[in-house]
Structure formats: structure tokens, C-alpha cells
Amino acid sequence: MPIDLPAPLPGGPTATLEVDRDGEGMAIEERATCVRIGGHRVRVARGEKRRFSIGADPRVLQRVAVGGRPLLAHVAPGDDWMFLDHPCYSWQLAGPRTDPWSAPAPLAYCTRTGRQDCRRGFFHPAPPRPAEDEICGDTEQIRRCAAAAEVRFAGTTRHIEPRDGGFFELETAAETVGLVVGVGEKWRLFLDGSGRLQGENLEAGSRPQTAVDRG
């Protein structure tokens, strides 16, 4: 499976992406991953783990492609991202702001009960859930509400739930692009001169979240 990653500009900001080929579930069939950054190609075999320096920007969204499928994500300078085998989706792309279970307040809050709806612009994260929620306590009931991403394109605003797999797909006349949004991010999307989807994160500078152990 080929992965195309943004190459850092000369002297420009960078982030790190780790490719971890554990080879579990649906991903077992993928014998190797070909990572392409600019003119460089690196083969990552099943069972291997490699780290790569990739292009980043405080506001401008970065384009990634997995198996030819284009994706947009806000990769901020200094970010740590991961490309992992996934037992259900074959693969997943996870960043420091894509996990709603890790979002701190005020990007997340707690309802009184699990039956109570979140207020507008927030959502109850889907399982798998951690054993203990850092801000809501016990997770027998899902009381956490996390901020959806707000995406504006062609006069329409959508509220999208961040997740590490099964991304929301936006179709244009030229392509269908997966949106790898982060909790509470606010995106403005537009078409460039060649008809490709581009954009920026208007909420740039939001602090990364702390990973949650769901073991």
C-alpha cells in the first residue's frame, strides 16, 4: 500500500509521522507499505516501525494520500502523527487532536447522565471507551461531550465528529477527499487553480491532547 506524505519545505516547519505495521486484522494482507515523501521512497515491511519527518504548517492543511485516496489534515509544527494497521478499517491515521476521548476542557465537558444530549456543536464519542474518563469519571455511561470540527466549504458549514478511521468524505467535481479533522478545529476549504481541495485551520494553535489508554 503506498502512502504519499508532504515533504518539508527547505528550512520550513516539520512534524513526525510514525508508520507502525503490526499487521493485525484486515491489514495482514498488506505485505508492505511504500512511503513516498517528495522524490524519496521507503519500504516498510509488515512488523516494522519507521519514523518520518514531514511537512507541517501552523494553519495550512496538508495533503496526504493512502492507497491513492487523498486526505486533508492539519499537521501543526512539532506534531506527532501515526499510521497504524487497524483490525476493522485496515488502517488508521491518528494525530494529536483526532481522539475525542483525549480532548481537555473546554473542548469537552460532561453531561449529568449518559441519556442527556450534548449541546449544539458537541457529540458523545463512540466506543471503544477508556475505563476511566479524566474529566467525567466512570465510563459505564458515556457522559463526555467533545467539540465537533466545524468545516466550511462552498457556503455550507458542517459539524464533523473527529475519528481515527472512517473519515468524512467530501466530494468535489475533481475528487473525493477524506477529512481528518481534529476536536474543535475550524476549517475553511476551497478549490485551488487545478480544482484540488485545499484549506486552512482557523483555530490554529490549539494545544495537543494527551493520549488515552483504552487497554
Percent of the chain whose predicted confidence (pLDDT) is above 90: 75
Closest CA to 166 of 156, 175, 179: 179
Q: In sequence order, what are the residues at sequence separation of 6 or more whose Cβ sits closer than 8 angstroms to the Cβ of residue 31? A: 45, 46
215 confidence band (pLDDT: 50, 70, 90): very low
Q: In sequence order, what are the residues at sequence separation of 6 or more whose Cβ sits closer than 8 angstroms to the Cβ of residue 33? A: 1, 2, 3, 19, 21, 43, 44, 83
24 confidence band (pLDDT: 50, 70, 90): low
User: Which pLDDT score is estimated for 22?
Assistant: 78
Give the separation between CA 23 and CA 214, rounded to whole angstroms: 20
User: Which pLDDT score is estimated for 213?
Assistant: 38
Q: In sequence order, what are the residues at sequence separation of 6 or more whose Cβ sits closer than 8 angstroms to the Cβ of residue 28? A: 46
Contact assessment for residue 113 and residue 141, using Cβ atoms and an 8 Å cutoff: yes
210 confidence band (pLDDT: 50, 70, 90): very low
Residues in the chain: 215
